Amino acid sequence: MKNVVATQLKIPFFENEDEAEKSDTTTTFSDNLTLPIHRWFRYSAGFSASWVRQLIEEEKYNGRTRVLDPFSGSGTVLLESELSGAEAIGIESHPFVIRIANAKLHWKQSPKSFHDYAFSVLERAEKQVVDISEAPKLIKNCFPPETLLRLEALRKSWNDTADDSPLSELTWLALASILRQCSPVGTAQWQYVLPTKVKVKVIDPYEAFKTKIYLISADMTKFQAQAHGPKAVMYKDDARLCSKVPDGWANLVITSPPYANNYDYADATRLEMSFFREVYGWGDLQDTVRKHLVRACTQHVGKLYKETYSIANNPLLGPIHDELIRTCQELEAERDKHGGKKQYHTMIATYFYDMAKVWTALRRVTSTNSLVCVVIGDSAPYGIHVPVDLWLGELAIAAGFASYSFEKTRDRNVKWKNRKHTVPLHEGRLWIRGKSS
């Protein structure tokens, strides 16, 4: 098979998840790969469902049964709330990611109806005649023609009856989740496309699709035997507003926002969104995805260079103002020494401004006796340390929460090999308690 070269994309300065210390995996998705429903789509940005479950169960005894996840991603918190009998609201603003979560929340459908629907899509695909010449360039680069013919046949066949119904969306998820397994280039799950990596194991699209149908229907049956909670509600909304959540509704918030680490959530889904013709090139990502997200990557802030310090001077950032300005200045000075000239200083200013707005929104939607748990890591662009957990804690207090503490779960970036910098980093849980009034 020809070694196809995918689009050249840069890997961010931040360390690779695989190389992080594995002492505690509760802040990572890895445990979910064996769990029904959670494993339908491998979402590397997610955290551990078992840990979430444990926290929900513990907090039930403290009377906290209204759970909110303002950055709900692939729906880990919502599914675990449904299992535990807690009410839950999720917010997610990434159009592809919310679709994944919503599809998973259709687990109550009849497994047999899903099985029959998805198999009818496969049977029609096997008879389809498709033209792959119109496929987006990235897709042609990621799949050899014989694979692409089958994937396109599946897409067309699914599309012919697609109607937003639960069965149609579950089948969409089955197809979306096999794309990377079927590509011979470096398309690690939920990663940027890595042009120079070639995979040894590649799965035939029809086989992968069949296997996924069996897995989904079996998991639906398992979950239906266990879950007893009310259906979780998921809103396509912005965590900076939480506009659809009633005042004082939540008494438990379990969440993980984007980290200030230059990870581009929009680019991470370009493969899938291009395959489904939701974007046609890198340029579409800004309008379709990025503009809805917390600004945590330099691609997002390219046009804001001149506004960096007016953003950092916003009164919402009062408690961290002096340190933030100093850090932005250091980052700006460091920028001149690097070829890439990344606007990390702008990224950091906008990130904390956005997160300050999230705290304001969370204060409105939480009750007085609420508990907020934020899974977060610090970062060090250009080797300049940004104490994200500490600053987020200070911003929470300024927004009206009562106290904060940080519980480290693991070290990161402690194996220096191939590192862009040697600043030790960590990841853990930021606990925010109550509201001060």
Ligand X SMILES: C[S@@+](CC[C@H](N)C(=O)[O-])C[C@H]1O[C@@H](n2cnc3c(N)ncnc32)[C@H](O)[C@@H]1O
- Of 205 and 258, which has the nearer Cβ to ligand X? 258
Stretch near ligand X under the rule CB under 6 A, chosen from 191-199, 206-214, 232-240, 270-278:
232-240
Query: Does 253 engage in binding with ligand X (CB under 6 A)?
Result: no
Q: Considering only residues 13, 192, 265, 391, which one is a binding residue for ligand X as defined by CB under 6 A?
A: 265
* Residue 76: CB minimum distance to ligand X, A: 3
Within positions 32 to 61, which residues make up the interface with ligand X, using CB under 6 A? 43, 45-47
Between 72 and 168, name the residue whose CB sits nearer to ligand X.
Answer: 72
Smallest separation, CB 2 to ligand X (Å): 34
- Interface pattern 273-312 for ligand X (x via CB under 6 A): --------------------xx------------------
- Of residues 80-109, those binding ligand X (CB under 6 A): 91-94, 97
Least distance from ligand X to the Cβ atom of residue 158, Å: 24
Which residue lies nearer to ligand X by CB, 149 or 232? 232
Q: Which is nearer to ligand X, 259 or 404 (CB)?
A: 259
Regarding 76 and contact with ligand X (CB under 6 A), the answer is yes
The pattern of x and - marking residues 118 through 157 that bind ligand X according to CB under 6 A reads ----------------------------------------
Q: Tell me the CA distances in angstroms from 245 to 76, 290, 339, one per residue in order.
A: 19, 23, 44
* 213 lies in the site for ligand X, by CB under 6 A: no
Residue of 64, 150, 212, 240 interacting with ligand X (CB under 6 A): 240
Task: Determine the residue with CB nearest ligand X.
Answer: 73
Binding to ligand X (CB under 6 A): which residues in 369-428?
Answer: none
Size of the site for ligand X (CB under 6 A): 23
Smallest separation, CB 47 to ligand X (Å)? 5
State the residues that interact with ligand X by CB under 6 A. 43, 45-47, 71-74, 76, 91-94, 97, 238-240, 256-258, 265, 293-294
